[in-house]
Amino acid sequence: MNPLLERAKKVMPGGVSSPVRAFLAVGGDPPVIASARGAEIFDTNGRGYVDLVCSWGPLILGHAHPAVVEAVSKAARDGLSFGATCEREVLLAEAVLSRFPWANKIRFVSTGTEAVMSAVRLARGATGRSRIVKFDGCYHGHVDGLLVSGGSGLATLGTPASAGVPREYAELTEVLPLDDDAAAEALFARKGKEIAAVIIEPLPANSGLLVQRTAFLKKLRELCTAHGALLIFDEVISGLRVAPGGMSERLGITPDIVTLGKIVGGGMPVGAYLAKDEIMNFVAPLGCVYQAGTLSGNPVAMAAGLATLNELAKPGVYERLDATAAMLSRGMERALERYEVPATVARVGSILWLSLQAGAPPRSWGAVKQEGAKLYAAIHRNALSNGLWMAPSAFEVAFVSLAHGDAHVQAATLAFERAVAAAREQS
C-alpha cells in the first residue's frame, strides 16, 4: 500500500475527509493525489489519469485553469480574509444574480451543505411551518434533517439515514418517490398546510442521473404555490453547469429558492442561496432568520468563483461542453455495445451517468437496479489501470470540463473500452 495512504488511515477516519473517497464501493486502494492540470490528475507515483470526476463538479474549466490561478494568487496577495464585505464579493453576487434574473439577492456561505441547511431554515422562517419534503434518491449534503431516507412506494415519514440524526428530527421530513405526481398530490392533500418547503435536485445527479419529466417538476411548482409552500431547487450540481441559470432556466420553471455550490466557488469552498426580495428579506440582518459565517464571502474564494464565471460567459462555452460530453457518451455506448453490456449512458449537458441496466435510464431511485454495481466496480478498477479516473461508485455521475479536448475524449473512450472488456472477462 502507498505509505501516504497508510499514514492517512492512521490519522483520518478511512484515510479521507469525505467517505466516497475511500473507494469502499469499488474496492482497491485509492491513489493519493499529487497534482492536477486541465483534464488530467496525477497521483504520488507519477501516474496520470484523464479525470471524469473533476472534483465532483466544481471544475467546469478543468484543473488549475490559468485565469482562476491568477485571480486566486492576486486575491491572496490582497489578504486572505477580511470579515467584512469586499469588492470581489459584490462582483460575484452580481455575476451570479445576472444568471438568475428572477431572483434579487444572494447570501454566500462556504459549502453546498451549508447553503441547503440555510435555505431550509429560511423556508421555515418565511412560512412559519416546520415540515419539509424531499425525494428518495436526492442528496442535499449532510444536513441532519435531510440525511433521511424513505420507504418504497408512497410518501413515508423520514427515518434517519445516519446514526446521530434523532428520529424526532427526521420525522419533520417527508420523503417522496421521484417521478410520481400522484404521491406528491396525495401528500399535499393530507399535509399541505404544514409544509414549509419541497426541496429537490431538479436534475437528480447523486444517485445516478435521474432525469425528471418537466411535467413532474411543474406539478411540484403548482402544488407548492397552491398550498403556500416554498419550492427549493438544489442546483449545487446543475446550477451554472447545464445552463448559466441551471435547470430553472432550462425548464422555464421558477423556484422560490435556489441553492448553489461547487462551480460557484471555482474549486474553492463556496456555497450560496438566492431568492426574490420578499423571501431574502427574512435573512438577518434584515429579517428574523439567523445565518452567519466567519469565512463567508471569503475574498480568495470569491476571486476563484468570479474568474470561473468570467470564463463561462464567453460565447460557445456551453455548446462546447455539450459537444464534448456527447462525443464521450457515444464512445462509451459503442464500447458497451461491442461487449454486449446491457447499459446506456444518461446525459444532460456535461453530466453523464453509466446506467448499467437494460432499457431506458431510470427516473427514480426505486427503478435503479443495484446489480450493476458489481460490474461497475470491475470497470472502475480496470479504468484506473488504463489511466481513466472514474467516480468510485456506480451511482455517481461523470463530468467533463472545458479542458477536455478531443484527444482526452479519445483516450478516455479507449481506456473505458479496455476496462469494459477486462471487466467482462473477469466477471
Indicate which residues carry an active-site annotation: 139, 234, 262
What is the CA angle 266-270-273, rounded to 5?
120
Which listed range, 9-17, 74-82, 89-97, 105-113, lies at the site for ligand PLP (CB under 6 A)? Answer: 105-113
One of 50, 175, 223, 236 touching ligand PLP (CB under 6 A): 236
Which listed range, 41-49, 139-147, 182-190, 239-247, lies at the site for ligand PLP (CB under 6 A)? Answer: 139-147
- Identify the sign of the CA torsion 131, 272, 111, 40: positive
DSSP state of 204: -
Calculate the CA 227 to chain-centre distance.
28
- Map residues 179-208 to x or -, x wherever contact with ligand PLP holds by CB under 6 A: ----------------------x----x--
- Alpha carbons within 13 angstroms on the beta-carbon side of residue 144 total 11
Residue 344 interacts with ligand PLP (CB under 6 A): yes or no = no
Residues found in the chain? 427
Smallest distance from the beta carbon of 321 to ligand PLP, in angstroms?
18
One of 61, 210, 237, 422 touching ligand PLP (CB under 6 A): 237
87-97 vs 299-312: helix crossing angle, rounded to 10: 40
Smallest distance from the beta carbon of 421 to ligand PLP, in angstroms?
32
- Map residues 144-173 to x or -, x wherever contact with ligand PLP holds by CB under 6 A: ------------------------------
Smallest distance from the beta carbon of 365 to ligand PLP, in angstroms?
14
- SS3 for 131? strand
* Beta carbons of 304 and 266 less than 8 angstroms apart: yes
Smallest distance from the beta carbon of 293 to ligand PLP, in angstroms?
13
Residue in the structure block whose three cell numbers are 432499457: 359
Smallest distance from the beta carbon of 390 to ligand PLP, in angstroms?
17
Residue 212 interacts with ligand PLP (CB under 6 A): yes or no = no
Which listed range, 62-70, 78-86, 109-117, 281-289, lies at the site for ligand PLP (CB under 6 A)? Answer: 109-117
Which listed range, 61-69, 108-116, 245-253, 359-367, lies at the site for ligand PLP (CB under 6 A)? Answer: 108-116
One of 160, 261, 331, 361 touching ligand PLP (CB under 6 A): 261
Rounded to whole angstroms, the maximal C-alpha distance in the chain is 63
Which listed range, 60-68, 231-239, 317-325, 397-405, lies at the site for ligand PLP (CB under 6 A)? Answer: 231-239
Residue 51 interacts with ligand PLP (CB under 6 A): yes or no = no
Q: Which residue is closest to ligand PLP by CB?
A: 112
What grid cell was written down for 291?
445565518
DSSP state string for 235-278: -TTTBTTTBTTHHHHHHT---SEEEE-GGGGBTBS-EEEEE-HH
Other Cβ atoms closer than 10 A to 238: 28
Q: Supply the Cα-derived Rg of the chain in whole angstroms.
A: 21
Residue 139 interacts with ligand PLP (CB under 6 A): yes or no = yes
Smallest distance from the beta carbon of 401 to ligand PLP, in angstroms?
16
111 or 329, CB closer to ligand PLP? 111
Smallest distance from the beta carbon of 205 to ligand PLP, in angstroms?
6
Spatial CA neighbour of 397 closest among 353, 357, 367: 353
Residue 251 interacts with ligand PLP (CB under 6 A): yes or no = no
400 or 419, CB closer to ligand PLP? 400
| Alpha-carbon gap, residue 223 to 187, rounded angstroms | 10
Spatial CA neighbour of 234 closest among 274, 191, 292, 286: 274
One of 40, 89, 234, 417 touching ligand PLP (CB under 6 A): 234
Residue in the structure block whose three cell numbers are 431547487: 233
**Which string of b and e fits 283-319 if b means at least 16 CB within 10 Å?**
beeeeebebebebbbbbbbbbbbbbbbebbeeeeebe
Question: Could you tell me the CA-to-CA distances from 117 to 114, 181, 347, 385 in Å, in that order?
Answer: 5, 26, 28, 39
How many chain residues touch ligand PLP (CB under 6 A)?
A: 14
One of 22, 95, 96, 116 touching ligand PLP (CB under 6 A): 116
36 or 146, CB closer to ligand PLP? 146
Residue 266 interacts with ligand PLP (CB under 6 A): yes or no = no
Binding interface with ligand PLP (CB under 6 A): 111-113, 116, 139-141, 201, 206, 234, 236-237, 261, 271
